[in-house]
C-alpha cells in the first residue's frame, strides 16, 4: 500500500468513525426531546404513547430511509452520506448540491476525488442552509408581507419541482430508454392521484425499482 492509498484508507476510516459517533448522538438527542421537555415542565412521558408514536412513524419512514440510503449513498460518498442524513434535506438540498458539484469538478462516482467533492458540497450546503435559516428568523417579520404575497406564492410552491426538473432532464436525456417509462408512469400517477405528489420519497421505491429492472432487461438484450 503506497502513501496515497494509506492516506485515503485512514481518511475513510476516520469518516466512518466520526460519522457513526455523530449519528448515534443525533438519534439520542432527537429521542431525548420529549423527556427533556417533560423534565422542564415537571411531567412524565407516557411511554405507551411514546413507543406507539415511534412505531407509527417507523412503519412509513424506515423502508423509505433504507431505500434512500441505497440510492443516495453511492452518489454522496462516505462523508457526504453521514453529513446529509444527519443534517437532513437530503432530497431537496444535499443531492442537487452533490450532483452539481460532481458535474462541475468532472469527478466519477466511487473515486477519492468524488468523495472529497461530495463531502465539501454537502458540508457547504448544510452551512449555507443554517445561515439562511438564521437570516430568515431574524428577517421573518420584515419580510412577512413579501413572503405572503399572492404573486410570489406560486413560485415558492414550485421551487423543488423546478429544481429537480432541471436536474432530472439532464440525466433522463442520457438514458431515455430507461427513464421514459418510469417518468411517464409516475407523471400519470400524480395526475390521476394528486395526493401522491407529496409522497415523492415513497414513489422513489417503485420508480427506482422499475428503472433498475428496465436497465437490466435492456442490458441483457444488448441494447445498452
pLDDT of 183: 87
Structural domain of 45 = 3-144
A 10 A CB-CB count for 105 gives 15
Let me know if residue 130 belongs to a domain.
yes
Please tell me the predicted confidence (pLDDT) of residue 135.
87
Look at residue 209 and tell me if it is in a domain.
no
Confirm whether 159 is domain-assigned. no
Number of domains in the chain: 1
- Cβ burial, residue 142 (10 Å; 0-12/13-18/19+): exposed
Rounded to the nearest angstrom, the gap between the alpha carbon of residue 102 and the centroid of all alpha carbons in its chain is 16
The reported pLDDT for the residue numbered 18 is 92
Which pLDDT belongs to residue 1? 62
Residue 219 confidence (pLDDT)? 86
Q: What is the Cα–Cα distance from 77 to 12, expressed in whole angstroms?
A: 10
pLDDT of the residue at 25: 94
pLDDT number for residue 26: 92
Residues lower than pLDDT 50 in the chain: none
Q: Whose CA is closest to 79, among 87, 68, 89, 71?
A: 87
Residue 176 lies in a domain: no
Do 38 and 45 touch, CB atoms closer than 8 A? Answer: yes
* Alpha carbons 163 and 83: distance in angstroms, whole number: 21
Residue 96 within a domain: yes
Q: Residue 215: inside a domain, yes or no? A: no
Rounded to whole angstroms, the Cα distance separating 136 from 150 reads: 19
Residue 9 lies in a domain: yes
Q: Is residue 221 part of a domain?
A: no
- Whole-model pTM: value is 0.68
Amino acid at each position: 500500500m503506497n502513501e496515497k492509498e494509506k492516506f485515503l484508507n485512514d481518511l475513510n476510516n476516520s469518516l466512518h468513525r466520526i460519522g457513526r459517533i455523530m449519528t448515534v448522538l443525533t438519534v439520542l438527542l432527537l429521542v431525548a426531546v420529549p423527556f427533556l421537555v417533560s423534565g422542564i415542565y415537571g411531567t412524565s412521558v407516557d411511554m405507551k404513547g411514546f413507543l406507539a408514536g415511534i412505531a407509527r412513524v417507523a412503519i412509513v419512514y424506515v423502508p423509505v430511509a433504507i431505500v434512500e440510503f441505497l440510492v443516495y449513498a453511492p452518489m454522496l460518498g462516505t462523508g457526504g452520506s453521514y453529513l446529509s442524513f444527519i443534517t437532513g434535506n437530503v432530497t431537496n438540498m444535499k443531492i442537487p448540491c452533490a450532483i452539481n458539484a460532481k458535474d462541475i469538478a468532472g469527478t466519477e462516482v466511487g473515486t477519492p476525488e468524488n468523495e472529497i467533492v461530495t463531502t465539501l458540497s454537502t458540508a457547504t450546503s448544510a452551512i449555507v442552509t443554517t445561515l439562511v435559516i438564521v437570516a430568515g428568523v431574524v428577517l421573518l417579520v420584515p419580510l412577512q408581507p413579501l413572503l405572503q404575497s399572492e404573486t410570489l406564492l406560486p413560485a415558492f410552491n414550485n421551487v423543488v419541482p423546478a429544481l429537480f426538473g432541471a436536474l432530472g432532464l439532464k440525466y433522463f436525456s442520457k438514458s431515455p430508454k430507461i427513464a421514459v417509462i418510469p417518468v411517464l408512469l409516475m407523471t400519470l400517477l400524480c395526475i390521476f392521484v394528486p395526493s401522491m405528489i407529496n409522497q415523492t420519497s415513497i414513489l422513489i421505491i417503485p420508480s427506482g425499482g422499475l428503472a433498475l429492472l428496465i436497465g437490466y432487461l435492456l442490458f441483457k438484450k444488448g441494447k445498452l
